[in-house]
């Protein structure tokens, strides 16, 4: 959740759990100050960093003699185990009680909160000129612009980590398609982890040249993200061409570093470029590029037809028959 969204929401509703995540302590304190305005000063408890999770839960569940409302602040919450954090955010609170947790940025924790319908408030200094210049430069090299809201959303989901930002820009550019500007909506699609993971799994699965499994996975892709999926597949084949070039020089690792290949895909990428001729990879890329125009012109099943054609090209490259079923399927 970005700062403006948090501040606007607070005007009409007080949540039971607030999570402030990021390196900017002053922004966290400002957020807590705004929440505190909803409570009487005597009902605000600031837990020091010596208290363990059980003691904080006792504080949350205790009742006041004079008031039922309570606001509890926990700083440095990264010290707790995932189980303790789950217990803290799942406590049986009264409607008038709120818990505020301060965290440093943590990708896994951020995902855990999202899964529990808690949106951490992003606490990053937007005055970091070098970071902003780097983001705008990378987007500009792709021939697009990016506005301040999209930049803020990008830093939010990436935790101000340069590597994460670079990876998420690449993903968002795929979703942007032919649009001139990288929007907040493009960035937010990247943060929908299950949706994006479906596209990645589907795209890399194409290399197995099993048309039945490929089309089954395609059926699970959100049809609003066809151009995003198509963009990722195009980029994948472009990167495989780069890897093929480096592989012929016996320098696969350098190529993998150049394209920022994710460690989870190293093995299958290496196997693929080892066994697939460069002309076959180029043919697959051409089929994907042609599919953009076919979809725009309204051709029915253009994507499915392209996937089947790509599978056929790769099966021929491996000397496999063109039947729709593998022997192990």
Question: Which residues is 97 bridged to in the sheet?
Answer: 70
140's CB contacts (< 8 A; 6+ apart) are none
Among candidate residues 253, 256, 247, the one with its CA nearest the CA of residue 274: 247
Q: Cα dihedral sign for 246, 248, 253, 259?
A: positive
The stretch 107-127 carries a mean pLDDT of 82
Which tokens sit at 104? 């440093």
Task: Give the length of the chain.
Answer: 329
C-alpha 261/C-alpha 235 separation (Å) is 11
**N-term to C-term CA, the chain:** 44
pTM check: above 0.75? no
The stretch 173-198 carries a mean pLDDT of 72
Tell me the per-residue pLDDT of 234-250, one tens digit each, with 9 for 90 and over. 888 998 999 999 988 88
**pLDDT at residue number 283:** 94
Domains of the chain: residue spans and CATH:
3-122 (3.40.50.300), 129-191 (1.10.8.60), 193-318 (1.20.272.10)
Pairing of strands 181-182, 145-146: parallel
Among candidate residues 133, 190, 189, the one with its CA nearest the CA of residue 162: 133
Cα diameter, the chain: 80
Percentages helix, strand, coil for the chain (3-state, rounded to 5) are 60, 10, 30
**pLDDT at residue number 320:** 65
25 confidence band (pLDDT: 50, 70, 90): confident
Which of 45-49, 154-158, 202-206, 289-293 is least confident? 45-49
Mean residue pLDDT of the chain comes to 81
């Amino acid at each position: 959740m970005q700062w403006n969204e948090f501040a606007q929401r607070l005007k009409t509703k007080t949540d039971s759990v607030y999570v402030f995540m990021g390196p900017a302590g002053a922004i966290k304190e400002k957020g807590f100050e705004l929440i505190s305005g909803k409570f009487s000063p005597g009902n605000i408890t600031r837990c020091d960093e010596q208290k363990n999770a059980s003691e904080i839960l006792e504080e949350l569940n205790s009742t006041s003699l004079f008031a039922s409302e309570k606001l509890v602040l926990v700083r440095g919450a990264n010290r707790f185990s995932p189980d303790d954090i789950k217990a803290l955010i799942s406590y049986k609170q009264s409607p008038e009680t709120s818990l505020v947790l301060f965290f440093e940025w943590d990708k896994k924790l951020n995902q855990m909160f999202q899964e529990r319908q808690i949106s951490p408030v992003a606490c990053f200094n937007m005055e970091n000129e070098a970071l902003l210049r780097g983001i705008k430069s990378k987007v500009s090299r792709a021939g697009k612009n990016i506005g301040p809201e999209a930049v803020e959303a990008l830093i939010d989901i990436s935790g101000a980590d340069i590597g994460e930002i670079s990876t998420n820009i690449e993903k968002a550019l795929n979703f942007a398609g032919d649009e001139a500007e990288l929007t907040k909506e493009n960035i937010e699609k990247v943060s929908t982890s299950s949706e994006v993971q479906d596209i990645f799994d589907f795209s890399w699965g194409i290399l197995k040249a099993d048309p039945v499994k490929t089309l089954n996975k395609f059926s699970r892709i959100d049809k609003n993200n066809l151009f995003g999926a198509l963009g990722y597949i195009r980029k994948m084949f472009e990167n495989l061409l780069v890897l093929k070039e480096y592989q012929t020089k016996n320098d696969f690792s350098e190529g993998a570093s150049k394209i920022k290949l994710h460690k989870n895909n190293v093995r299958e990428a290496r196997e693929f470029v080892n066994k697939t001729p460069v002309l076959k990879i180029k043919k697959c890329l051409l089929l994907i590029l042609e599919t953009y125009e076919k979809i725009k012109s309204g051709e029915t099943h253009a994507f499915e037809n392209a996937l089947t054609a790509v599978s056929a090209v790769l099966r021929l490259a491996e000397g496999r028959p063109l039947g729709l079923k593998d022997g192990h399927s």
